[in-house]
Amino acid sequence: MSTASKVTLASTSMGAVAIIIMVHYQQKAEKTAMHAGVIRDMEQQKIKKERQADFAMQRALEEEYKKVQSVGEGS
């Protein structure tokens, strides 16, 4: 094998290994980002449910207070 062919083989092999390493790194980074998105979505859903529960409780209290107190329109 000539020196030129050895250099070509070595450089293409190193290039292929570098590409494989980069692809694996990108896949791990994407997986981490996607997992963070799922966690963020779960937290947002939890907050939304809490707000809806608070709103329902406030609505129930409002209805209860309307029964007890007279609320007039206008001043």
Q: How far apart are CA 53 and CA 44, in angstroms?
A: 14
pLDDT number for residue 71: 61
- Per-block average pLDDT, block size 10, for the chain (75 residues)? 95 98 98 96 97 96 86 60
pLDDT number for residue 67: 86
Tokens of 54: 């608070």
3-state class of 20 per DSSP? helix
pLDDT number for residue 66: 87
Cα torsion at 58, 64, 69, 73 (round to 10°)?
A: 60
Q: How far apart are CA 20 and CA 25, in angstroms?
A: 9
Where does residue 42 rank: exposed (0-12), middle (13-18), buried (19+ CB within 10 A)? exposed
